[in-house]
Amino acid sequence: MPRPEQKAYGSWPSPVSAKLLAGASTSVGQPSYDDGSIYWIESRPMENGRNTVMEKNRHGVVREVLPKPLSVRSTVHEYGGKAYLVKRGILYFCLEDDQRIYQLDIHGDSVEPIPLTPEPAGPDTSLRFADLHFDSHRNRLVCVCEDHRATLEPENYIAAVVLPAETAVRAPAIEDIEKLVSGDDFYAYPRFSPDGRQLCWLSWNHPDMPWDNTLLWLADIDSTGKPANHRPIAGGNDTSIFQPQWSPGGDLYYVSDQNNWWNIYRYNRSGNATRVCAREAEFATPLWTLGMSTYGFLSPNLVFCCYTENGHWKLATIDIAGEEFTPVPSDFTHVSNIYCCDGKTYFAAGSPKRSPVIACYRAETAAIELIAGDVPPPVDSRYFSEPDYFRFPTTEGHSHLLYYPPTNPDYCAGEKERPPLVVLCHGGPTGMSAPELNFKIQFWTSRGFAVADINYRGSTGFGRKYRNSLHYQWGIADVEDAVNGAQFLVERGLADADKTLIRGGSAGGYTVLAALAFKDYFKAGACLYGIGDLETLARDTHKFESRYLNKLVGEYPMERAIYQQRSPINHAENISCPVIFFQGLEDKVVPPQQTVGMADALREKRLPVACLLFEGEAHGFRKAETIEKSLQAELYFYATLLDFPVPDDCPAIEIDNLENSA
């Protein structure tokens, strides 16, 4: 093999182009099973972020069952979740365009889906649905409904949707939706027991988020199909419950963090609750999207699960009767969407050198096979950087990061050179950075950048105490961890102290702006649909997150002074480095005026600023052209400021006040 050519860090030509990355962003997830066929959601940036439903039948034939250009997506809580299911050959799904539930006979001749819920009267009066569950005993769908016809804020409740007896039906009416459970602010996981005689669900209320404090409810089902004798059986008292699920034998299981770690518990028919597996590991993830699943049942006494330890997701089985925990070997480092059926488990998974896949674990052979998504990477894996895990000291205790070194077999840098460092701040801020193949990271490392993916205080995966350590400290603890993590790497000779960059989206975008406003450390920043004004966010965001800041910052408006103190837009005079902004114009989570206002404030200060606004994009970019253009612009921005050669495939962007970059 030829020897690598010596070239400065950050200037390495790379086959991981922005165009390739945008096309490679296709993802698979949410597997399910019906009558011998496996189904899953495939997200396609090249089709404007469309989510379609795929099938692989018992003969191994793969096909798309949702007609183009239809897209499956729920916007309950704005993030949706579990927006489809297949039962007896019928696909039930939430259509992205109007948020109605439709049904489609996927083995029939017609490709015209039938609406099951009424047409909205106007753009802001829709009924939204998510977390679909089939009540086989009464031939109906049970789900979470978010009713936007209310005048103040949407009303959330558990609803039953009547299914038509025949293919030809009348236009659906409001009367076809029955309100089963209501009164709380939020609901999740409505699930019937195997015999159909009981219903469980989760609920929570303002100002809590589902990872703060939830209640698990149980009710009997009366002769009319309605819940009766409602009673809470777990949760409350600052305990988070996740994924209640019935075993085939009729016992109710759930995940609770009552002992700091999200562990699995069993509530049996005698009314007793016991921890199934005591382990310093997390068997849950924050409930940003409804219907998330981290475990299931291979048999009445055998659980298949995924869990995370030190930022790595792993697989295991738990023998309930023998209380035996058995790790399942695999090279996967990120796992989600566990779905068990007929002695098999289907799940979504990824690893540092493999694109996301749908995999299957068979209990009888203890073997894992790949079902979908197992396509060769678009570039040679020698260009992929694999991360090292570091636990580093910070202001209070320790924090965590994944370090991706510059990796390109064609190039190397001088022995005394150190690479520029891109510090990534995940969203949430309850998110967790996992070591899976992410082309948005490889885009930088293959060009000679190092990347630090920070799991700052407040991240999930490290226990409730670590998660809660960001309470009332947002904009302080996360910023300290970003700076201390970068310094930790610089001190070890893994990064250039004069070329430290910070980027993040959503809540991570706030950490970026706060780090630039309150710490003089980073040389440039990239903010993607991030938060500049905490007051605006507290007043204008959607229902699900409308009280989120109460625990991250303080109760608003009583603690208004703290909001003003921690809002970067009020401290633009402290920012002394260039910033590039990216924003979707249809964002309901972070209103676009936040980004525009922050960019204008820095322009007035005569700092180098670029601001790119994208029509048709909301919170998080889904279109391939947006992903491509934003990455090219960010690379152009860094190259111009740090005096790297600008790649030929990066069109010039407008950078205001560029003459002041020196």
pLDDT computed for residue 375 by the predictor = 75
Q: Residue 387's domain spans which residues? A: 379-635
Report if residue 208 sits inside a domain: no
Q: Are residues 327 and 385 in the same domain?
A: no
Residues 131 and 189: beta-carbon distance below 8 Å: yes
pLDDT computed for residue 167 by the predictor = 52
Report if residue 126 sits inside a domain: yes
The tally of domains found in the chain comes to 3
Q: Which residue has the tokens 């100002």?
A: 207
Burial code of 40-78, b = ≥16 C-beta within 10 A, e = fewer? bbbbbbebebbbbbbbbeeeeeeeebbeeebbbbbbbbb
Q: Give, as one character, the DSSP assignment of residue 500.
A: E
pLDDT computed for residue 662 by the predictor = 58
pLDDT computed for residue 166 by the predictor = 61
pLDDT computed for residue 287 by the predictor = 97
Q: Are residues 449 and 364 in the same domain?
A: no
CATH for 548: 3.40.50.1820
pLDDT computed for residue 95 by the predictor = 97
Q: Are residues 571 and 610 in the same domain?
A: yes
- Quote the strand ranges of 205-353, DSSP E: 215-221, 227-235, 241-246, 252-259, 261-267, 273-275, 295-299, 302-309, 312-319, 324-328, 334-341, 344-351
Q: Are residues 307 and 407 in the same domain?
A: no
**Angle, alpha carbons 118-123-129 (nearest 5°):** 50
Q: Would you call 154 helix, strand, or coil by DSSP?
A: coil
Residue 147 corresponds to which tokens in the numbers above? 């009713």
pLDDT computed for residue 1 by the predictor = 65
The β-bridge relationship of strands 524-528 and 579-584 is parallel
pLDDT computed for residue 152 by the predictor = 82
Residues 497 and 576: beta-carbon distance below 8 Å: no
pLDDT computed for residue 575 by the predictor = 94
How far CA 495 is from CA of 66, 412, 450, 498, in Å, comes to 47, 15, 7, 9
Report if residue 58 sits inside a domain: yes
Alpha carbons 154 and 163: distance in angstroms, whole number: 25
Ordered strands of the 101-105 beta sheet: 84-87, 90-94, 101-105, 114-115
Q: Which of 375, 397, 416 lies at the terminal end of a domain, its last residue? A: 375
Residues 454 and 404: beta-carbon distance below 8 Å: no
Q: Are residues 319 and 392 in the same domain?
A: no
Q: Would you call 595 helix, strand, or coil by DSSP?
A: helix
Report if residue 447 sits inside a domain: yes
Largest distance between two CA atoms of the chain:
78
Q: Are residues 444 and 528 in the same domain?
A: yes
Tens of pLDDT along 43-97? 988 888 899 999 999 999 999 999 999 999 999 999 999 999 999 999 999 999 9
Report if residue 405 sits inside a domain: yes
CA count, 13 A, side-chain hemisphere, 590: 28
Q: Are residues 320 and 428 in the same domain?
A: no
pTM, rounded to two decimals? 0.93
Report if residue 187 sits inside a domain: no
Q: Are residues 551 and 565 in the same domain?
A: yes
Ordered strands of the 186-192 beta sheet: 186-192, 198-204, 215-221, 227-235
CB burial class (10 A; 0-12, 13-18, 19+) of residue 314? Answer: middle
Q: Which of 375, 395, 423 lies at the terminal end of a domain, its last residue? A: 375
Q: Which residue has the tokens 């490889």?
A: 442
Q: Which of 337, 357, 375 lies at the terminal end of a domain, its last residue? A: 375
pLDDT computed for residue 169 by the predictor = 58
Q: Which residues contact 123 (CB under 8 A, 6 or more apart)?
A: none
Q: Are residues 122 and 54 in the same domain?
A: yes
3-state SS string for 411-467:
EECCCCCCCCEEEEECCCCCCCCCCCCCHHHHHHHCCCCEEEEEECCCCCCCCHHHH
Report if residue 209 sits inside a domain: no
Residues 41 and 84: beta-carbon distance below 8 Å: yes
- The residue count of the chain comes to 662
Q: Are residues 384 and 363 in the same domain?
A: no
Report if residue 203 sits inside a domain: no
Give yes or no for a cis peptide into 207 (omega within 30° of 0): yes
pLDDT computed for residue 226 by the predictor = 95
Q: Are residues 152 and 83 in the same domain?
A: yes
Residue 474 corresponds to which tokens in the numbers above? 């947002």
Q: Which residues contact 487 (CB under 8 A, 6 or more apart)?
A: 521
Q: Are residues 41 and 141 in the same domain?
A: yes
- Flag residues of the chain having pLDDT under 70: 1, 24-25, 123, 166-169, 661-662
**Angle, alpha carbons 252-253-254 (nearest 5°):** 130
Tens of pLDDT along 417-452? 999 999 999 998 999 998 888 889 999 999 999 999
Q: Which residues contact 448 (CB under 8 A, 6 or more apart)?
A: 7, 8, 9, 10, 11, 12, 406, 408, 411, 413, 419, 420
